[in-house]
A = this chain, B = another copy of it.
């Protein structure tokens, strides 16, 4: 990594929690200056403009979340355990995975009507998130852990929606009581598909 690439990456990492917390519109380049302690001019050496930086940061935030989820999931081998690990990951998402909440929801709601580029990025990640759930279940069916006739594609969508809805609730509530219910419900739905 050249010096330039390093600085660029540094800017992205420092900007990520700010954009995710305040939103793109409410984040000023001066916020990035303060967080990186870089000069105004320096920022523009690495990014054409705020929109450019925001796009990279959106990717970074979503990727960071995906990596953390996968890390957790991959610490298990049994498909059921992997699925449960996925659900449990969001149990305390009020505080942990990425500062500022779920980037899909944050940037998705901000961009849906106003920023086609970011809207498309978020859509891709929403789809691949459901894909991850599907992949786990497919493996489970191949391993004989889950029933072969499970309509798991629909479940993947339902599970993803429930988790996102849960994230909204717990972030606005400030506690995760309702996410526990969602977690329990999802696990029960999975248990019914065990062979």
Residue-by-residue, is A52-82 near B (CB-CB < 8 Å gives 1, otherwise 0)? 0000000000000000000000000000000
Residues of chain B within 8 A (CB-CB) of A96 are: none
Nearest-CB distance from A149 to chain B (Å)? 15
Residues of chain B within 8 A (CB-CB) of A126 are: 168-169, 172-173
The A interface, classified by DSSP as helix, strand, loop or mixed, is helix
Question: How many of chain A's residues have a CB under 8 angstroms from any CB in B?
Answer: 42
Interface-forming stretch among A6-14, A31-39, A97-105, A133-141? Answer: A97-105
Question: Is A182 among interface residues, defined by CB-CB distance under 8 A?
Answer: yes
Contact B168 A104 (CB under 8 A): yes
Distance between Cα atoms of A112 and B94 in the complex (Å): 11
Contact A172 B113 (CB under 8 A): no
